[in-house]
Amino acid sequence: MDHTIGVLALQGDVREHLAVLTRLGERAIAVRRPAELASVDGLIIPGGESTTMIKLAKIFELYEPLRARIRDGLPTFGTCAGMILLADRIEGGAVGQETLGGLDITVRRNAFGRQVDSFEGDLPLTGLDEPVHAVFIRAPWVEAVGDGVEVLARVPADPARGAAAGRIVAVRQGSLMATSFHPEVGGDARVHELFVDLVRRARAERPTDHETKRD
């Protein structure tokens, strides 16, 4: 294997993501320092608390390096709070809440409302033959996407879902991917596999160190 996948390990469900990656046979590391970030070929930003994660990213001097690597095309997968961190725009955020950005989407934070703030359901997802069992925990949804963004999944357009019916909950843009739900919960590794494919493809397109030296 010629790639390593990092899990941003400032806060949130880091261990669960590392466990799924390890189960897939991936080389996976926790990322807390700029040097660790520099060494990875793909990054997962886990669920947790987006305002806390941004604060910690600044304290750990990862905020600018994260923005720079994402801008330079690092394959990155944000789940739940991680989706908020990757979004270019937030609605319903804390006052002045910042993001890392990269994904041309508007997310609505804590979108599903108090009554249904945590729920589960089966969703068809582009790229998977069978629906994925999606677990939502105080999740955001995607209010709007830019032209370059592919919608991978929506909440079923069932009137029983109220305001959530038809909402976008998984997206991809180039080598960036995000889900409102928690694919690391429940033992189904297929969404992680889609991300690993993105990392593999991006890695294959990059010259190896050997080729770079030869040039």
Query: 80 catalytic, yes or no?
Result: yes
Nearer to ligand GLN, 185 or 202 (CB): 185
Shortest reach from residue 31's CB to ligand GLN, in Å: 17
Q: Which residues are CB-neighbours of 166 under 8 A, at least 6 positions away?
A: 154, 155, 156, 157
Q: Is 210 assigned a catalytic role?
A: no
State yes or no: is 17 an active-site residue. no
Tell the smallest beta-carbon distance from residue 119 to ligand GLN (Å). 12
3-state helix, strand, coil in the chain (%, to 5): 30, 25, 40
Binding site for ligand GLN (CB under 6 A): 47-50, 80-81, 84, 109-110, 137-138
User: Distance between CA 164 and CA 65 in Å, rounded?
Assistant: 35
User: Which residue out of 16, 17, 26, 182 is catalytically annotated?
Assistant: 182
CB of 47 to ligand GLN, least distance (A): 3
Nearer to ligand GLN, 4 or 183 (CB): 183
Tell me the H-state helices in 72-170.
81-86
Q: What's the CA gap between 163 and 142, in Å, rounded?
A: 12
User: What minimum distance in Å lies between the beta carbon of 100 and ligand GLN?
Assistant: 13
Q: Which is nearer to ligand GLN, 81 or 177 (CB)?
A: 81
The single residue of 64, 184, 205, 210 carrying the catalytic annotation is 184
Note the Cα 103 to chain centre separation in Å: 10
Q: Which of 4/81 has CB closer to ligand GLN?
A: 81
Q: What b/e sequence results for 8-27 when a residue is b if at least 16 CB atoms lie within 10 Å of its CB, and e otherwise?
A: bbbbbbbebbbbbbeeeebe
Marked catalytic residue, from 61, 80, 98, 205: 80
- Catalytic residue numbers, as ranges: 80, 182, 184
